[in-house]
Structure 1
Amino acid sequence: MRHITKAFGEFKALDDVTFDVRRGEIHAVCGENGAGKSTLMNVLSGVWPRGTYEGEIIYDGHVREFRSIRDSEAVGIVIIHQELALSPYLSVAENIFLGNEKHRRGVIDWDATNEAAARLLAEVGLDIRPQTRVADLGVGYQQLVEIAKALSKDVRLLILDEPTAALNDTDSAHLLDLMRGLRERGISMIMISHKLGEVSHTADRATIIRDGRTIDTAPLHGQGMIGEDEIIRLMVGRSLGNRYPDHVSTVGEEILRVCDWSVHHPIDVSRKVVDGAGLTLRRGEIVGLAGLMGAGRTELAMSLFGRSYGTDISGTVLKDGEEISTSTVAKAMGHGLAYVSEDRKVLGLNLIADVRTNTAAAALSKISRHGVVDDSAEREVAERYRRELRIKTASLAAPVGSLSGGNQQKVVLAKWIFTDPDVLILDEPTRGIDVGAKLEIYQIIDSLADSGKAILVISSELPELLGICDRIYAMSQGRITGQLPRAKADQENLMKLMTMENSAVPAGPDDPGVPGGRGGEDGSAKAVAR
């Protein structure tokens, strides 16, 4: 790709970018959210057709002018987006050959379709029936179905946008192994990822993009190689030093206590997804919640916040020592709770609405008179949070779906901060955003704790919890299996608690559902430094 420039109005998303990929290599593209990585790949794959950008694409020695995705796929270029493009209600086989059906005289040959799908599934190491409905698969399996679909199109250049962002460690390892295997078969890959550890271990070279410009391309192994710290410096234009800000928490009185909380699955009502869990939060404290996928972390959070998940929910919630009801979202918010969901695009934001509307959406009563929203007040609120949280947007009138992932996450945070909660639950607050934006999110979390709010952070990244939390709970199979203060927590101890069998979980004497602990000493104010 030579001298690629792509503008949206007056904003240049790409400015004279040059980029190349060799046959049989994995090439990483790194950069902050909004740097232009996805836009560059959309140009390459024909999402943005010839005529909407400047520059040229040379593939196999020939200048190409792709008018659509179909044109790029015809020569073996296939893109797998971060938001998977599978139809949940069709089978795996139907998804693999959607738009490329195996047929005889216009009638689909289902035997041939299922047989071919089975061979492709075996290639990607997926032992499932081709007739399985995609909706019944986990995200890791769906990612592999996408790769099988790409292989069905005789892929030669595979583009993967944040391929492991939503995967657990096991599924991520399997996917990265598969990518290495495809490389050995001569398939070239472009890998966009914010997980720099995976980039360093998997990719051969990396190109760093900042503010729509190519900054550098360098090998990740051997002579002239660059490491994670150098990649970060090139991405953000400065050295971040510590990836987690130094912070001293002043922990006050207990504000929230959850006792013996149990939740049943909304469809399989006989199955408990949260089993007798209990935890406490204190003013000014940042508390982590760790657990493997399926441990029940999100189910616990959503059921607490207005019973947004589950059925046959039981247990007690105490706020400032008095029992409260959180049986609806309105009641939960009325008692000072807020929940930032893990899926900002589906549950957190209205992507087609503008930044201003999204920012004020959770607390319209604060800017309304007699049921009518005061446009001027709404604009002032949105502008204040845009400035305070450093939200990068061309205008408050811009659709929030046009923002980068990190800036979308800031809008979600602004929406809930505007409700002025006492307790803020953050579910995967930095998923899919770059290291620079992560640091800004951590600083926001610290400032919220400094203002006296209690923060519960759910994260799949143990280094993140260890870097920002004062105390960490662990969950396994729906139960709280233990808690550790920051000084005693490490990845090994947390993993032991996260994999503990239910039969091994002892009863906690004072902090319900927490083995062996009093839930954080006596509740008196204290300073916790990191």
Structure 2
Amino acid sequence: MVAPTASPAASAEPLLVIDNLGKRFVGVTALDGVSLDVRAGEVLGLLGENGAGKSTLLKILSGAQPPSSGTITFDGAPYAPASPIEAKARGIVTIYQELSLIPTLSVAENIFIGRAPLSGLGLVDWRAMRRETRAIIARVGLTTDPETPVSALSVAEQQLVEIARALSLSSRLIIMDEPTSALTEAEVARLLAIMSRLRGEGVAIMFVTHRLEEASQICDRVTVLRDGRLAGHMARDAGPIPIPAIIERMVGRAASELYARPTERHAPGDTRLAIRGLTTPRNPEAPNAITLGGVDLDIRAGEILGLAGLVGSGRTELARAVFGADPVASGSMTLDGAAYAPSSPHDAIARGIGLVPEDRKHQAIFAALGILTNFSVAALSRFAGPLGIMREREERRVLAEYRKALSIRMASPEQRIDGLSGGNQQKVIVARWLARDPKVLIVDEPTRGVDVGAKAEVHQILVQLASRGIAVLVISSELPEILAVSDRIVTMRQGRITGEMPASEATEEKLMALMALETREEATA
């Protein structure tokens, strides 16, 4: 990623000024005396751990919540929107991590929903809508036909449609909340380039992200929140904003302390899971889907095996096959020396395999249910009495143990899990599997959407699991994470293993070379 130069379009006068802003809920102070400003033609990073107050600040700016104290001015005038509609009318648009597009409608309909251009007869002028859509999406580098259903677009393209919709509203400030969390590296680079272009056009951007490398590269300035208070402002100087300095502002301690691993590591034991020649069938309805092409892999008890690969390498497909979620065409697996061929996830769980999936929201948590239910759902037999009645006292006792051991921050076991931060949700999911005492735990993208402080806690938890003799398979798109937690690292490409090395010998450069290595089958294709 190439670091951008400071924006020549940046205005000397602030466009948005927040002064001594406060927000209090019953028993909780979410924001306390926060002050910041954003200038036209600059990218301001808003950074902080989960619970730092970022989401509350965004809700206030978007008109979803009023502040309890303080003032906001926008373009020199008082700003206190009563609704998101009013905020958009004033020129401030928020693009959330969970996109708000309607999949069944076209690109043009999504961009102009609720404000379609009309003909002289009061009917929708479809020709004008398509023409205006082409012009708007061209500004963000999207060449899709305006009549294409949004459901047919990739996540990255949908993100561009959201930005195009914001531009169609003549937005002067675009707030982007975790816009890159579900994008590939190439898509991230494209989005950051578009942000630089918009900045050059005088559009102000507030960029909220957990990916500090991106913030360091793209932002002209960053504002850091910690525990609802302002932790500091940092500006680009001759080069990118130093990441260690950002981390220290975010968590209140040096970055080197966050990734300190235990000096003593237990030696791995015998092979726990052995995979030989594993292949998966091709789906005629999804001809471009990744299939496994003869995977050989060993995972030992008490070991953290890192699995690295670019998007589409087959990492998640391997996890799903081992967990019994996807069918296997050929090959074999053994678990503690016995044949292992799960017919379903239920079968895999019964045999001692656990999976923390990459998509926490859709595949791991029951958002509308409480923490206690989410915790015990995979170990109901442990907490059920002879007649199938749940032993709630025991259920709560075990949750309390893991709450303390994993430092899960929650109000009560009855609290809805979607009210927790991403890091605490992840800890509850890990505790869910610990309640079953698994032989193998597969953790796919363990810290996706998790702040830097919680990342370090999750990494420490993985090390502790391995010390208990659990075989841990960690899949991550972040090479620094793979290097930080793994004992041994295996790389994949196009559904095949391309390399293996001890973590002590690995570097990002070596792993990238193996992840891009052409397989024998590709070379002869």
TM-score by length of 1: 0.90
CA distance in 2, matches of 1:409, 1:23: 37
Provide structure 1 residue ranges, at least 5 long, that are not aligned to the other structure: 507-530
The structure 2 residue matched to 1:429, chosen from 415, 431, 446, is 446
- Residue 317, structure 1, aligned to residue 318, structure 2: no
Please point out which of 349, 364, 378 is paired with 2:395.
378
Which residue of the partner structure matches residue 291 of structure 1? Answer: 309
Please tell me whether residue 39 in structure 1 is matched to residue 56 in structure 2. Answer: yes
Q: C-alpha distance in 1, partners of 2:372/2:231?
A: 33
Q: 1:23 touches 1:188 (CA, 8 Å); kept in 2?
A: yes
- Which residue does the alignment assign to 1:279? 297
Closer, same or farther: CA 269–167 of 1 in aligned 2, 3 Å: closer
The alignment partner of 2:108 has SS state of helix
Name the residue aligned to 1:235.
250
- State the partner residue of 2:208: 192
Please tell me whether residue 461 in structure 1 is matched to residue 478 in structure 2.
Answer: yes
Encode CA deviations 1:195-249: one digit per residue, 9 max, x unaligned.
22211111111111000111212213259x9622121111111113154332424
- Checking the alignment, whether the CA contact within 8 Å between 1:287 and 1:469 is kept in structure 2 is yes
| 2:38 alignment partner, SS class | coil
Q: Report how far residue 36 of structure 1 moved.
A: 0.9
Q: 2:101 is paired with a residue of what secondary structure?
A: coil
Deviations 1:393-446 (CA, angstroms, capped at 9, x unpaired): 222222111111111111111112222111000000011111111100000000
How far apart in 2 are the matches of 1:433 and 1:501? 33
Aligned to 2:73: 58
- Measured in 2, the distance between the counterparts of 1:265 and 1:375 equals 45
Q: How much does 1:318 deviate? A: 0.6
1:491 aligns with 2:508: yes
CA distance in 2, matches of 1:85, 1:435: 27
Which residue number in structure 2 is paired with residue 366 of structure 1?
382
> Could you say what secondary structure the match of 1:273 adopts?
coil
Counterpart contact for 2:137–2:164, Cα < 8 Å: yes
Partner of 1:24: 41
Shift of 1:495: 1.7
8 Å CA contact 2:321, 2:328 repeated in 1: no
Alignment equivalent of 2:91, drawn from 76, 79, 83:
76
Partner Cα separation in structure 1 for residue 250 and residue 215 of structure 2: 14
Is 1:256 aligned with 2:273?
yes
The structure 2 residue matched to 1:245, chosen from 260, 264, 277, is: 260
Q: Does 1:15 align with 2:32?
A: yes
Moved more, 372-381 or 426-435: 372-381
| Structure 1 residue identity aligned to 2:94 | I
Correspondence for 1:205: 221
Query: What letter corresponds to residue 297 of structure 1 in structure 2?
Result: R
The answer to whether 1:344 aligns with 2:360 is yes
Q: Indicate conservation of the 8 Å contact 1:481/1:505, yes or no.
A: no
CA deviation after TM superposition for structure 1 residue 113, in Å: 2.0
Contact 1:244-1:468 at 8 Å conserved across structures: no
Aligned to 1:511: none
Counterpart AA for 1:188: A
Aligned to 1:520: none
d(CA) in 2 for partners of 1:98, 1:306: 42
2:81 aligned counterpart, secondary structure: coil
Q: Deviations over 1:289-321 (max 9, x none)?
A: 1111111211221122122x4x56433221012
Q: Is this contact kept in 2: 1:393–1:403, CA < 8 A?
A: yes
Which residue of structure 1 lines up, in the alignment, with residue 173 of structure 2? 157
Aligned equivalents of 2:155, 2:286: Cα separation in 1 = 23
Unaligned runs of 5+ in 2: 1-17
**1: CA distance, partners of 2:286 / 2:451:** 39
Deviation at residue 250 of structure 1 after TM alignment = 1.6
Residue range with higher mean Cα deviation, 465-474 or 331-340: 465-474
- Asked if structure 2 preserves the Cα contact closer than 8 Å seen for 1:245 and 1:442, the reply is no
How many aligned positions are there?
Answer: 502
Question: What is the root-mean-square deviation of aligned Cα atoms in Å?
Answer: 2.1
- For 2:211 and 2:394, locate their aligned partners in 1 and report how far apart those are by CA, in whole Å: 39
The amino acid across from 1:141 in the alignment is E
| Seq. identity, % | 44
Asked if 1 retains the 8 angstrom alpha-carbon contact of 2:278 and 2:328, the reply is no
Task: Select between 268-277 and 357-366 the one with higher mean Cα deviation.
Answer: 268-277
Question: 2:324 aligns to what?
Answer: 306
Q: Distance in 2 between matches of 1:495 and 1:365?
A: 44
State the Cα distance separating 1:284 from its structure 2 match. 0.8
Q: Deviations over 1:158-178 (max 9, x none)?
A: 101112122121111111111
Q: Give secondary structure in 1 for the equivalent of 2:192.
A: helix
Instruction: State the one-letter code of the partner of 1:87.
Output: I
**1:266 deviation in Å?**
4.7
2:261, 2:460 within 8 Å by CA — same for their partners in 1? no
* Partner Cα distance (2:45, 2:174) in 1: 12
The amino acid that maps onto 1:12 is T
The 8 Å contact of residues 483 and 503 in structure 2, kept in 1 or not, is answered as: yes
Structure 1, residues 247-283: CA drift from partner, whole Å, max 9, x if none? 4242110000112222235563655522222211001
Alpha-carbon separation, structure 2, partners of 1:21 and 1:468:
38
Q: Which residue of 1 is the match for residue 7 of structure 2?
A: none
The answer for the alignment partner of 2:115 in structure 1 is 100
Closer/same/farther in 2, CA of residues 206 and 257 from structure 1, 3 Å limit: same
- 1:55-85 Cα deviation digits (max 9, x unpaired): 3221111112211111100011011111122
Q: Is the 8 A contact 1:160 1:189 kept in 2?
A: yes
For 1:402, the aligned partner's letter is G
* Inter-CA distance 22–269: structure 2 relative to 1 (3 Å threshold): closer
Taking the aligned partners of 2:136 and 2:107, their CA distance within structure 1 comes to: 11
The 1-side partners of 2:522 and 2:460 are apart by: 35
Structure 1 distance, partners of 2:321, 2:185, is 26
Contact 1:264 1:270 in 2 (8 A): no
Write the distance in 2 (CA, Å) between the matches of 1:356 and 1:400. 9
Alignment match, 1:527: none
CA distance in 1, matches of 2:316, 2:248: 34
